[in-house]
Structure 1
Amino acid sequence: MLEPLLGINLEPFYLSIKLSFITTVMLFLILIIPSYALARTNFKGKSIVLALLSLPIVMPPSVLGFYLLIIFSPYSALGAFLEGAFNIRLVFSFSGLVVASCIYSLPFMLQPLIAGFQSLPKSLFEASYSLGKSRLNTLIHVALPSIKPSILSALVITFAHTMGEFGVVLLIGGSVENQTKVASIAIFEAVEMLDFKTAHFYSFILLAISFLVLFTMYLTKNTKAI
């Protein structure tokens, strides 16, 4: 439990930052190879795959949260299996927030990575293969170092986007103190109770974090460009 500052509980911010960090790292590690494959290959049905993976961008968060709640519910086949076999309940738990956030923020990590890989010339890969490097070796030692700006954008956007989640986290996690009550939920509850002092405080901190994250990204990009 974090010590309160000026009588205001800071635990929601700890949970928000923790959720954003875990989601960002997991999505980056999971999507490196799929984004590389989607960027460098063409296959039948690729447009359908990209459309499905990009759905969270245009889908209302409440719609996605509702369907995830149905799927992860202990009364569904998947939810009952996870709880019976592994004693895992995804609804109203931090684990559920991580899974839901990974699904909701997936395109914000995927699209910058795909764009970065697509920007690389074909000759770069051919030169690597001619030197005897495998596809995996080329990905790790040639492609990834060459798209650092895209990686930075993907990490920053995914982190910031997860920090601001509301609809999905509300439906999947609810407002369980010290477990699922993230900053956006805390702001909503403070406004509901007409506690505008707390709402202002939480909102200002989220605003400051968002600005600092974006400022760091642009500062890093501009410094490298000089």
Structure 2
Amino acid sequence: MDVFSPEIWQSIGLTIELASVTTVTLLIIGTPLAWWLARSTAWWTEAIAAIVALPLVLPPTVLGFYLLVLLGPDGPGGWIASLWGGRTLAFTFEGLIVGSVLYSMPFVVQPIRNAFAAMGNRPLEVAATLRASPRRAFWTVAVPLARPGLLTGAILGFAHTVGEFGLVLMIGGNIPGRTRVLSVAIFDYVEQSQWREASLLAGSMVIFAFAVILTMTLIDKRSVRTIR
């Protein structure tokens, strides 16, 4: 099979779509969560932070197993899918989004939380003296100051979603056009001993990973220069 066949481009498009939707969803959910984790003084704040960070240490197959149960026909996912005539969220693109959001959450929340924490209280206190409401201060002061953390979180979330394998295979399987993302396609090529195709796709992923790391390094250096 030609590596540039429609099937491969379909997997590339599906992977980019999954990573994009996941990243946007995580920024919407993760930014207020990171803000609360950075500002809260409640004793159970770190317990919530530990729950958010669980995917960092949990094997993907463990998280995938529980998600498979939850997204299956006998779990909440079955009830949700029934709203539009479906039977399950497992082995669907929507199910992959749910799994990717949960699995990539710590990679987005932690950099944003660190950026909010590093900002300190002083900028918000100054905004308060200028009669800015907490909401206005958040959008006009906190978010611009935390921009490097937001950018790092977005890049990490996107890259981590692109590189997912164990989780997406568990809850999505290998359905062309629906759940067959790039990492699964590489695995499929190896199983079929199509080494040329697997090498080209794997090499592309290495280049992508290098670009991500280089971009993050440049963002960190620029942030340090800005602070100084």
Q: TM-score, normalised by structure 2?
A: 0.91
Alignment of 1:94-133 (within 5 A): 94-133=93-132
Q: Distance in 2 between matches of 1:53 and 1:210?
A: 24
Relative to structure 1, the CA distance from residue 4 to residue 191 in structure 2 (aligned partners, 3 Å threshold; closer, same or farther) is closer
Could you say which residue in structure 1 is the equivalent of 2:191? 192
Could you say which residue in structure 1 is the equivalent of 2:57? 58
Shift of 1:212: 2.3
Could you say which residue in structure 2 is the equivalent of 1:216? 215
Conservation of the 8 A alpha-carbon contact between 1:8 and 1:198? no
Q: Distance in 2 between matches of 1:181 and 1:138?
A: 43
Conservation of the 8 A alpha-carbon contact between 2:30 and 2:109? yes
Q: Which runs of 4+ in 1 moved over 6 A?
A: none
Shift of 1:215: 2.7
Q: 2:206 is paired with a residue of what secondary structure?
A: helix
Task: Indicate which of 80, 83, 88 corresponds to 2:81.
Answer: 83
Relative to structure 1, the CA distance from residue 129 to residue 208 in structure 2 (aligned partners, 3 Å threshold; closer, same or farther) is same
Deviation digits for residues 197-226 of structure 1 (CA, Å, limit 9, x no counterpart): 111011011112222233334345546738
Stretches of structure 2 that go unaligned for 5 or more consecutive residues are: none
Instruction: Output the amino acid matched with 2:82.
Output: G
Q: Distance in 2 between matches of 1:134 and 1:33?
A: 16
Paired residue total: 223
Question: How many percent identity over aligned positions?
Answer: 34
Stretches of structure 1 that go unaligned for 5 or more consecutive residues are: none
Could you say which residue in structure 2 is the equivalent of 1:146? 145
Q: Distance in 2 between matches of 1:39 and 1:29?
A: 16
Please provide the CA RMSD for this pair. Answer: 2.0
Instruction: Output the amino acid matched with 1:72.
Output: L
Q: TM-score, normalised by structure 1?
A: 0.91
